Amino acid sequence: MSMNVQPDLDFIRDMKSAGGDTLKKCFQCATCSVVCPLSSDDNPFPRREMVLAQWGLKEKLLGDANVMLCHQCGDCTAYCPRGAKPGDVLGAIRAYAYKHFGWPAGLANLASSGKNLPVLIAIPAVVIFVMWLISGGMHLPTTEQFAEVGYGHFFGHWDFRLLAKNVFFIDLIMLPSAGLAVYAAYRGVSAMWKKMAESAGVGEALYRPSVPQFIKEFLWPATVEIIEHTRFKKCEANKDRVKGHQPLLLAFIGLFFVTVYSAISQDMLGIFIPSLHGPMSLMNPVKILANVAAIALIVGIGILWGNRSRAEQEGQATHTFYDWFLIWMIMGVGVTGLLSEIFRLIGVVSLGYLTYYLHLISVMMLFLYMPYTKFAHLVYRTFAMAFERYRDSAYVKNPLSE
């Protein structure tokens, strides 16, 4: 029996540019499937995916949940006798998937290549600079004002008590960026779920779970597993990644809580209690959490930076823009945020304002490019893990027929 294989050459070129150029060295010995903790007798992962990638079968790989379930722990790459680096190949496939599922396509394509880095930085830099210019806040406060209000007047000040001018301009910048990211991620995950369902032969559900049922039975368990790093801990060759990923994830959770608390206390309750405005005391428990989370963010991404550099030096990983762009962005957010606070505490106004401007750029980049960079794996992998549970559930499979 013959089979007509139509490889997607553009997909192969994209995959090679994102770190999958070692694919041609694979000669299907199945060592990767033997050592991978995700592999099983009926699921020879990642050997099957390496075959599909060599054949350029893009559509099959885009609908393969295992591609997103892979944690790139490095075991397959460490034991590969041919240096094919299956972990990098799978990472390259994920990078292509984020671009393929990305919306709008122009922004997804822009964020996929290192040659576009100046433009990727320029977009938020120009937006924030223009907003700063038209806000009328582009002037440095005195040292005394800086000590009293911090960066609360970065975009100026008005007497409208229901909404601070600084908050208005920051919301005008960040909310559309975050909204675009959330909507783009929703569209991408929806398209991926549809492809995974087709690939797994999941037809019409016997009965559909409600949204609360879906969250409780599939999405929440997947989220807990990610927070606990259950599968990361099964890795052998790259165990230290847990030391970087876990504090980083917990730092983001902590900073999210701090942001929500600040919005409620200063921008809502502050309308009625003016004393809540301005920088929080260093002894405030929420401020302590913010500083601990910021340090955890820098430490976590620093560990991942070191691990990645070491893996590349030892030939266990390929240097790619896809892997480094996220590391640079997160480090930028952490370092500029911490330096902004230090400059405020010691009263260095000019450096403080410059660093805060860079901090806003870093945060906007993290929001705006989330669905198209490696950061997207947090969303896509979570839903792939939820799908893994869903496809084997009674919603899809009739337990009485087995």
Q: How confident is the model at residue 181 (pLDDT cuts 50, 70, 90)?
A: very high
List the beta bridge partners of residue 40.
Answer: 43
Tell me the pLDDT tens digit for each residue of 117-170: 999 999 999 999 999 999 988 889 999 999 888 898 999 988 887 788 888 899
Pair (54, 168) in one structural domain: no
State yes or no: pLDDT of 17 exceeds 80: no
Domain boundary among 82, 101, 120: 101
pLDDT top residue among 65 and 10: 65
Give the H or E element holding residue 142.
none
Pair (226, 191) in one structural domain: yes
Pair (232, 213) in one structural domain: yes
Neighbours of 348 (CB within 10 A): 16
Q: How confident is the model at residue 242 (pLDDT cuts 50, 70, 90)?
A: confident
Pair (109, 73) in one structural domain: no
Q: How confident is the model at residue 203 (pLDDT cuts 50, 70, 90)?
A: low
252 alpha-carbon distance from chain centroid: 11
Whole-Å CA distances, 101 to 39, 182, 187, 327: 26, 13, 8, 22
Mean of the pLDDT values across residues 72-86? 85
Q: Report the C-alpha gap between 375 and 381 in whole angstroms.
A: 10
Q: Which of 63-77, 153-167, 222-236 has the lowest mean pLDDT?
A: 222-236
Quote the pLDDT of residue 1: 44
Q: Report the C-alpha gap between 290 and 251 in whole angstroms.
A: 9
Whether 189 maps to a domain, the answer reads yes
pLDDT top residue among 270 and 191: 191
State yes or no: pLDDT of 277 exceeds 70: no
Domain boundary among 85, 101, 117: 101
Whether 396 maps to a domain, the answer reads no
Give the type of residue at 25.
K
Whether 402 maps to a domain, the answer reads no
Percent of the chain whose pLDDT exceeds 90: 46
Q: Which of 62-66, 150-154, 398-402 has the lowest mean pLDDT?
A: 398-402
How many domains, in total, are found in the chain?
Answer: 2
Pair (306, 173) in one structural domain: yes
**Most confident among 28-32, 130-134, 198-202, 265-269 (mean pLDDT):** 130-134
Whether 228 maps to a domain, the answer reads yes
Mean of the pLDDT values across residues 339-362? 95
Mean of the pLDDT values across residues 391-397? 83
Quote the pLDDT of residue 370: 95
Pair (352, 232) in one structural domain: yes
Q: Report the C-alpha gap between 283 and 241 in whole angstroms.
A: 32
Whether 278 maps to a domain, the answer reads yes
Whether 395 maps to a domain, the answer reads no
DSSP 325-392: HHHHHHHHHHHHHHHHHHHHHHT-HHHHHHHHHHHHHHHHHHHHTGGGSGGGHHHHHHHHHHHHHHTT
The whole-model pTM stands at 0.88
Nearest to 387 by CA among 186, 200, 208, 184: 200
Buried b / exposed e over 238-267, threshold 16 CB at 10 Å, is: beebbbbbbbbbbbbebbeebeebbeebbb
Q: Report the C-alpha gap between 163 and 174 in whole angstroms.
A: 16
Nearest to 154 by CA among 368, 367, 286, 343: 343
**Alpha-carbon dihedral sign for residues 25, 48, 320, 309:** negative
The mean of the pLDDT values for the chain is 87
Q: How confident is the model at residue 334 (pLDDT cuts 50, 70, 90)?
A: very high
Quote the pLDDT of residue 159: 82
Q: Is residue 225 within 8 Å of residue 385, measured between CB atoms? A: yes
Pair (44, 192) in one structural domain: no
Write down how long the chain is: 402
Neighbours of 4 (CB within 10 A): 4
Quote the pLDDT of residue 165: 87
Whether 1 maps to a domain, the answer reads no
DSSP 72-105: --SHHHHH-TT---HHHHHHHHHHHHHHHH-SSH
**CB proximity list for 380: less than 8 A, separation 6 or greater:** 68, 94, 97, 98, 101, 188, 189, 192
Pair (110, 75) in one structural domain: no
Pair (136, 32) in one structural domain: no
Q: Report the C-alpha gap between 246 and 251 in whole angstroms.
A: 8
Pair (246, 314) in one structural domain: yes
Look up the domain containing 346 and give its range: 105-390
Pair (75, 121) in one structural domain: no
Domain boundary among 49, 81, 101: 101
**Alpha-carbon dihedral sign for residues 44, 238, 13, 64:** positive
Mean of the pLDDT values across residues 15-33? 83
Q: Which of 50-54, 61-65, 98-102, 393-397 has the lowest mean pLDDT?
A: 393-397
Whether 3 maps to a domain, the answer reads no
Mean of the pLDDT values across residues 349-362? 96
Pair (218, 285) in one structural domain: yes
383 alpha-carbon distance from chain centroid: 14
